[in-house]
Amino acid sequence: MNLAFWKKKEHTAGQVDFQRLPRHIAVILDGNGRWAQRRGLPRTAGHKAGAETFRAIATYCRDIGLEYLTVYAFSTENWKRPKDEVETIMVLLKRYLLEAIDTMERDNVRLRFLGDMQALSQELRDLVEQCNAISDRLTGCQCNICINYGGRAEIAQGARRFAEDCAAGVVKPDDLTEETFEKYLYSAGMPSPELLIRPGGEQRLSNFLLWQCAYAEFYFTDVLWPDFSKEELHRAIAAYQRRNRRFGGVG
């Protein structure tokens, strides 16, 4: 095959039909640490760069009219990391929240924080509350940032809250269906992601959206999250649009 053929193929590989976008894209923000290490920088520099990339991708998703973007920023397992790395991530989160409170109205990007916020400092929790309150007034793309999030923890807390409602006589065990249970998840009221993107080269879920990704299309790329670009997003969406989604049927 000649070069022009492959060039065209490469071009069409990233061609997106913007009329057929998924409603909800989920992204595991992975590869920050390696991005920094490859540049001889501390891992925390990678988290800083990763936060910038998130800002750019979130506004781009708003521009193309995506309804929901859910990103995995800090897992229930990430507390295992060295204390100074965790502390820096929390400092970056605080900076991010403060900046978001100033700019989200102008940018019309709604921010929601999914996960167990109890483990965060009171200061961070207050900022999260402020972001939520501003988001209530906005209409743009909803960006869910998963912090101290774990898929198993999410399902367990949902089961616990359902059991509490049963004990209080609000619901009965027979009321539990897939639809009613979803109301007990952090993602209550949102459609499930059709597309899950994992940059950073690993091909696993790492405890992300276990319930919601039951029928998501997975897209893995070696690109490290801080290097992720809108072209890379296009490639992922274009790949998704070429998939044959059967949902157990025959297509």
Asked if 115 is part of the footprint of ligand IPE (rule: CB under 6 A), the reply reads no
Using CB atoms within 10 Å of the CB of residue 118, give its burial: 0 to 12 exposed, 13 to 18 middle, 19+ buried.
exposed
Distance of alpha carbon 153 from alpha carbon 76, whole angstroms: 8
DSSP secondary structure string for all residues of 70-87: EEEEEETTGGGS-HHHHH
CB distance 30 to 198 below 8 Å: yes
Residue in 202, 215, 231, 245 binding ligand IPE, rule: CB under 6 A: 202
32 binds, among ligand IPE, Mg ion, none (CB under 5 to 8 A by kind): ligand IPE
Q: Which of 2, 17, 63, 78 is catalytic?
A: 78
Segment near Mg ion (CB under 5 A); pick from 29-37, 44-52, 154-162, 220-228: 29-37
CB distance 79 to 116 below 8 Å: no
Asked if 72 is part of the footprint of ligand IPE (rule: CB under 6 A), the reply reads yes
Q: How many CB atoms lie within 10 A of CB 96?
A: 18
Residue in 59, 130, 157, 206 binding ligand IPE, rule: CB under 6 A: 206
Asked if 217 is part of the footprint of Mg ion (rule: CB under 5 A), the reply reads no
84 as an active site residue: the answer is no
Distance of alpha carbon 199 from alpha carbon 1, whole angstroms: 30
Which DSSP category does 243 fall into? S
Closest to ligand IPE by CB, 78 or 241? 78
Residue in 21, 22, 25, 30 binding Mg ion, rule: CB under 5 A: 30
CB distance 199 to 31 below 8 Å: yes
User: What Rg, from alpha-carbon coordinates, does the chain have?
Assistant: 19
Amino acid letter, 70: T
Segment near Mg ion (CB under 5 A); pick from 28-36, 55-63, 76-84, 92-100: 28-36
Distance of alpha carbon 195 from alpha carbon 219, whole angstroms: 7
Closest to ligand IPE by CB, 74 or 162? 74
144: β partners: 70, 112
In the complex, minimum distance from the CB of residue 30 to Mg ion, in angstroms, rounded to a whole number: 4
Please identify the residue of the shown chain whose CB is closest to the bound ligand IPE: 33
30 as an active site residue: the answer is yes
List binders of ligand IPE among 74-113 (CB under 6 A): 74-75, 78, 89
Asked if 232 is part of the footprint of Mg ion (rule: CB under 5 A), the reply reads no
Query: Which residues participate in catalysis according to the annotation?
Result: 30, 78
Q: Which residues in this chain contact ligand IPE in the complex, by CB under 6 A?
A: 28-34, 72-75, 78, 89, 200, 202, 204, 206
